[in-house]
Structure 1
Amino acid sequence: MNNSQYKKAERGAWLSISAYIILSGVKIFVSYIGNSEALRADGLNNLTDIIASVAVLIGLKISQKPPDENHRYGHSRAETIASLVAAFIMISVGIQVIIGSVQSVLNPSETSPSIITAFVALFSALFMYGVYLFNVKLARKINSKSLYSAAQDNRSDALVSIGAMIGIIGAYFGIGWLDPLAAFIVGFMICKTAWGIFRDAALDLTDAFEVEKLKDIEETIRSTPGVKLVKDIKARLHGNQPIVDATIFVEPTLTVIEGHQIAEHVEERLSETHQINHSHIHIEPQLH
């Protein structure tokens, strides 16, 4: 991403942080006056989400730093590390929600919460889903993995609030088992989302790359005029930036300038067709 895109991603992270600060304060306050453990747990969940959003913001800040002596490719992978942090926090929250649902079954509450706490949970769910829609659209537009992870966290929080609302309504009308059931399902969904984010980030950090996408890149190089053969093609992601290394074979009678022009044409096609702006093309003569 360029600096303008990073600034847009930062606005998404700041939106998440602001939403979590406001909602956590409202939920915790209303939970005490409305006697709702579910809403209180939801508010505490939002407090932990502030940490995840701050981690994303820090990752975006670091990613903007230019290349230096120790980071010749730049600092884009800070975004991937921020995604990992967000995934760890999400899965810890998901496990806590699941454990809390089991404890609710073993130790059912005899107190009935105020119905106002259900409305607060519903408002929070709708508000966070709106934040999710904004951030996920922005993340896809600027291709920011860390902001996409934050958006998934926003959606998980909306689901947690829905679960809290269902539990509160169930407890209000004397259907106590709705609370732990909804909490368990929500906790499972949070863990599933966190696992997906962790898996993608881990694959990026271990230089994995989609096989089908690599085949498309190879075909683009092979179809470039002047390229006779493509050999030893590799690709990896540095943050959200793909880096391609390939060896191409050309006619051995070409001059150095002509061979260099073919390599430049390959790089131009990779940029236009696949948005790959970092490629290393090595030229070899094709010996018959």
Structure 2
Amino acid sequence: MTEFLIRKFVKDFDNVNNSRVRKGYGLLSGSVGICVNLLLCTMKLVTGFVSGSVGIIGDGINNLSDAGSSVVTMLGLKMSAKPADEEHPYGHGRIEYIAALIIAGIILLVGFELIKTSVEKLLAPEPVEVSAPALAVMVFSVVLKMWLGAFNRYLGKKTDSPAFNAVAMDSMSDCVATSVVIACLLVYWWTGYNLDGAAGIVVGMFIMYSGWGAASETLQPILGKPADPEILGRIMEIAIRDRRVLGVHDVMAHSYGPGNVFASLHIEVTSTMKLLEAHAVASHLEHAIEKELDIHAIVHVDPKLVGDPEFDALLENLAEVLKGIDGSLSMHDVHIFHGSRLVFDVEVPYSYPASDEELTERIVAAMEAREPDYSVSVKLDRM
């Protein structure tokens, strides 16, 4: 069913990094979500008011908020498809993250209001009329929501969109919440114990939990989570395929929305290579990364002195100094300026306990003790 809908309503559906295609996925998800949730909302509100169950009414209101979330998803993906402009040179892709955050806010608000109403119902319980049709409506709701959750999870996996994942998470939490309502209705039907208010509180808590999870997941790319190690590894693999590249470091990737990634990296080439050839190596690598990974890349070229015994001995001493301090430290961009100034970068894990100032002092002191003829300058890169 999902594949049928995608093939029917999304043109060029496999080209998921294309903004127009992503907009098509957003319209499909939003349209399906609006239809499903408005249907369930209508059925539950009618059933809830007839039976007098705050749990069913709350579940119906939750479906209404889900329909609103689908509208937000559609608008977010439509706006994110806008091309880059002077004010947004990297495009509008991050609007998808903002849309997902708005959805999470709506979910949290609905959950809070439902808990508030349910507490009032718990303090002043009212009779609930339970019937087979009411239970059938709730069971049908669980089945339909499970399909909707799987539908959006599939879209999220296919497009790597947090907006779809947020909607999928909301749908699956709805299944759990509705199941709780069903259980409480059955208890009341069989025993006479009115757990309607308690059911509403549990439903509200589930709703808020899913909202918090969606918000946490969405905030990570907005705050700047690290790039996928697999992507960084692929960039390095492409770089070292060129035999003229002696080393790769400082590989970074920044996401400006799903499918809109910019990367930068430093490559090392022999210092005897002519400038035009070095430029050609960098340009070729930039084109290769964009062609194979659909990532905009900027390549910086670093010259590396090769075949100099004195410089090689210096590198060996530096490696021993770093290993003596901590085995997790590594170096790159080693240069000698004016014959006596040694400059290099050191990669340091984020988890390394010492401060940058303390570590810099240790490295400089240890290296100058081994190489007293050099003035040492070190730059730390936390990785």
Please give the TM-score of this superposition, normalised by the length of structure 2: 0.67
Aligned to 1:13: 30
Aligned length: 287
CA apart distance, 1:126: 0.7
Is the partner of 1:285 in helix, strand or coil? strand
Q: Would the aligned equivalents of 1:232 and 1:247 in 2 still touch at CA under 8 Å?
A: yes
1:245 matched to 2:264? The reply is: yes
Is the partner of 1:279 in helix, strand or coil? strand
Q: Would the aligned equivalents of 1:27 and 1:39 in 2 still touch at CA under 8 Å?
A: yes
- Classify 1:79/1:211 alpha carbon distance in 2 versus 1 (closer, same or farther; 3 Å): closer
- Classify 1:37/1:94 alpha carbon distance in 2 versus 1 (closer, same or farther; 3 Å): closer
CA apart distance, 1:256: 4.0
Taking the aligned partners of 1:33 and 1:244, their CA distance within structure 2 comes to 58
Gaps of 5+ in 2: 1-16, 307-383
What are the Cα deviations for residues 143-197 of structure 1, in whole angstroms up to 9, with x where unaligned? Answer: 2221221222222222222222222222222353654555555444433332232
Q: Would the aligned equivalents of 1:170 and 1:179 in 2 still touch at CA under 8 Å?
A: no
Q: Would the aligned equivalents of 2:100 and 2:163 in 1 still touch at CA under 8 Å?
A: yes
CA apart distance, 1:238: 1.1
Aligned to 2:106: 89
Taking the aligned partners of 1:8 and 1:115, their CA distance within structure 2 comes to 38
Structure-to-structure mapping, 1:36-75, within 5 angstroms: 36-75=53-92
- Classify 1:112/1:146 alpha carbon distance in 2 versus 1 (closer, same or farther; 3 Å): same
CA apart distance, 1:37: 2.3
Aligned to 2:277, which of 258, 262, 265?
Answer: 258
Structure-to-structure mapping, 1:66-215, within 5 angstroms: 66-174=83-191, 176=193, 179=196, 182-210=199-227, 212-213=229-230
Higher relative contact order (CA 8 A, sep 6+): 1
Q: Would the aligned equivalents of 2:263 and 2:297 in 1 still touch at CA under 8 Å?
A: yes
User: Higher mean Cα deviation, 138-147 or 192-201?
Assistant: 192-201
Letter in 1 for 2:165: Y
Is the partner of 2:191 in helix, strand or coil? coil
Q: Which protein has the bigger helix share?
A: 1
Say what the alpha-carbon RMSD is for the aligned residues.
2.7
Q: Would the aligned equivalents of 2:54 and 2:200 in 1 still touch at CA under 8 Å?
A: no
Please give the TM-score of this superposition, normalised by the length of structure 1: 0.86
Gaps of 5+ in 1: none
